[in-house]
Amino acid sequence: MRPPDFTLTAGPAAVSPRILAALAKPVLYHGDPVFLDTYARTEQLVGQIYDTASEVILMQGVPSVGLEAAARALVSPGAPVLNLVSGVIGQQMGRWLAGIGARIHELAVGFNDAIDPAGVAAYLDAHPDIGLVAVVHCESPSGTMNDCAAIGAVARDRGVLTLVNCVSSLGGMPFSADRWQLDVCVAGAHKCLGGTDGISLITVSDQAWTAIEQNPAAPRDSYLSLLDWHELWHGKSQFPSPPSVPEINSLEAACDQLLEEGLEAAFARHELAARACRAGVLGMGLQLWPARTSIMSPALTAITLPAGLDGDAVCDHVRSRYGVMISSGRGAGNLVRIGHMGTTATGMHPVVGVIALGQALADLGVTVRPGDGADAALEVLAAA
């Protein structure tokens, strides 16, 4: 098969020429003073994007690595943890936490819904032994958002730490680790930042460091050790393990690209792409998967499939027949997803996603007119 014309998945998202050029920069020795400056500068840019004064750790490896490292740092065997589950990523976090030996408490909602922060408050009040809440900001497999600002405040008020998966939200929608009172956050560069995958962007609050230092089970002398980064890199300027130089160059370019555009402008760009995509989907008579508009992610649109259709088969048809790569639902439900994150949250990308999906569904026997979807999506873009 030939390569796709458009990659409109829910991440990794397409990468801009500026980032590709950064990947092609000469690879310096990781101890070279020029690279060390780049590294320190990149940490600082990531802190700006997180809106935090907390320590930033850039751990090599896709964000699943950073999420596991964070969970291992925070959790000791037998510790009660409240895991919030509104989708398959939250569910997976529960399995990881259980694997580390946490005593799991779970608040769960349907995978088209979001966690109610008042329910979190009530649960924590009823279970004062819980010291950690784990939450996914954007549940990318189902296109929904949890209110991390409210959940962060609820937890901090009760002296409970938060572990936040913001892999698919950072850079594409408002986020503030400090104002939202979040303790440990983990993101990636390959979603709304428009960068490449292979790196975990982690912030750790002072409260969280205190807990991690007191956790006898927190990894040390391990690739997964946050403490090693804290003590060796930020304490003695020694890398616990040498970073991938091209990966840091790529991340620096992604951060520069985003901050030069301006965070507010980037958020507005994602929101507009999302509105256009949703309007296109609804304009073709299809249904959006999330229960309410207020919980829909600006980074991707999840679309309910008509009964009898299989998400993987629909995505395969869109890809093979029309050269557009979109995403299935990864087990979240009978849905497909069009990503509009990073470089694909611009211009005509959402229109392309809508009409490619619409035509594929029409081919598969669904009564939809892709032109109606294009009209509705374009109307949103034209009015902006």
Ligand X SMILES: *Cc1c(COP(=O)(O)O)cnc(C)c1O
| Long-range CB contact pairs, 32-36, < 8 A, 24+ | 35/245, 35/248, 36/237
Closest CA to 191 of 294, 112, 298: 298
Using CB under 6 A, pick the residue from 54, 112, 146, 165 that binds ligand X: 165
Helical residues (DSSP H) of 176-220, grouped into ranges: 206-213
Between CA 157 and CA 137 the distance in angstroms is 19
Residues 191-250 contacting ligand X, CB under 6 A? 191, 197
84 binds ligand X (CB under 6 A): no
173 binds ligand X (CB under 6 A): no
89 binds ligand X (CB under 6 A): yes
85 binds ligand X (CB under 6 A): no
C-beta of 247 vs 374, nearer to ligand X = 247
Using CB under 6 A, pick the residue from 188, 329, 333, 373 that binds ligand X: 188
First-to-final CA distance of the chain: 37
Between CA 36 and CA 40 the distance in angstroms is 6
11 binds ligand X (CB under 6 A): yes
Point out which span in 117-125, 132-140, 313-321, 324-332 binds ligand X (CB under 6 A): 132-140
Binding-site size, ligand X (CB under 6 A): 14
CA dist 333 to 112, 131, 251, 266, Å? Answer: 9, 32, 33, 29
Between CA 136 and CA 121 the distance in angstroms is 17
140 binds ligand X (CB under 6 A): yes
328 binds ligand X (CB under 6 A): no
Closest CA to 114 of 86, 138, 80: 86
Using CB under 6 A, pick the residue from 38, 86, 144, 168 that binds ligand X: 168
64 binds ligand X (CB under 6 A): yes
354 binds ligand X (CB under 6 A): no
62 binds ligand X (CB under 6 A): yes
Q: How far is the CB of 56 from ligand X (least distance, A)?
A: 18
167 binds ligand X (CB under 6 A): yes
Closest CA to 175 of 212, 135, 141, 206: 135
User: What token pair was written down for 353?
Assistant: 């996603």
Q: Which residues bind ligand X (CB under 6 A)?
A: 11, 62-64, 89, 136, 138, 140, 165, 167-168, 188, 191, 197
